[in-house]
Amino acid sequence: MFAGRADAPERINIVLALLLVLLAVAPEPIRVEVGAIVYADVDISPSRLIYDGPLRAEDPSVAAVSGSIRHGGSYGLATVEGVAPGQTRMILIVFSGLSIYRIPVANIIVEERCDAPSVTLAARHILVAERQPLTLAAMTSGSAPVSVEWYDGEALLGVANPLTVSMSRGVHRIIARAANRCGVAVSEDLDVTVVPLHRRSAAVAAGGGFSIRRATYGSSPRASKRLRPRSGRNGGPAS
């Protein structure tokens, strides 16, 4: 309520200012993470009819706001701190006579803290035999959930961590792409060389995870017998 007719022009100014501010609220909200602080310019031009006043959060349990509108009642600087996930509005508090007006000037969205992802591969080069499964695994960090996509050049191999694939003969350049709601990270290249199956021994030497049978010399007991050294009369080697 306004006290007397002397407040009538002031009341008209407040009402007009309120209408202009409502039309001037920025479509892009102010975004801040829980525990973080952002600084926001508050510009409610072309309204120059309102009075100076403090800026506050409509719901202080979601965000803490400090600042004020100055310079003819159109511009101010606000500090916004995230308190809890949710949405609220930044309001301008105007005191007029015996009345208090709370004029919304911006929307505030408070989000959970998000750490950007990272992705690391344990190896840079792998040698495997064709037609054998290969398990790709990456070490990731960042706010969950973190998804991992695997690429062979430009071709998508799959979305999983770890991911088991079979690859054709040749050299393949593999990368892992990790993503969450606040960023993307790409690993260094992993060179995978796929060799013919008869080169299994080379794959074993390179740590490819394959096994070979024990080599035997001779195809019959008689042949194996010829491989044993001959003994002399006294048990020593034959002369």
CA nearest to 150, candidates 133, 134, 137: 137
Q: Please tell me the predicted confidence (pLDDT) of residue 12.
A: 55
Q: Residue 10 is part of a domain; what is its CATH number?
A: 2.60.40
> Which residue in the block uniquely carries the two structure tokens 């792998």?
126
Q: Does residue 10 sit in the same domain as residue 106?
A: yes
Q: Does residue 10 sit in the same domain as residue 101?
A: yes
- The answer to whether residue 217 sits within a structural domain is no
CA–CA–CA angle 153, 157, 160 (5° rounding): 130
- Cα(73)–Cα(71) distance, rounded to whole angstroms? 6
CA–CA–CA angle 232, 235, 239 (5° rounding): 25
C-beta separation of 185 from 119 below 8 A: yes
Measured in degrees and rounded to the nearest 5, phi and psi for residue 178 equal: -100, 140
Q: Does residue 13 sit in the same domain as residue 66?
A: yes
Q: Please tell me the predicted confidence (pLDDT) of residue 44.
A: 73
Residues in the chain with pLDDT values less than 50: 1-6, 23-24, 202-229, 231, 239
Task: Give how many domains the chain has, as a whole number.
Answer: 2
Cβ neighbour number for residue 1 with a 10 Å cutoff: 7
Q: Residue 137 is part of a domain; what is its CATH number?
A: 2.60.40.10
Q: Does residue 42 sit in the same domain as residue 88?
A: yes
Q: DSSP secondary-structure letter at 197?
A: G
Containing structural domain, residue 166: 118-205
- The answer to whether residue 218 sits within a structural domain is no
**Residue 171 identity (one-letter amino acid):** V
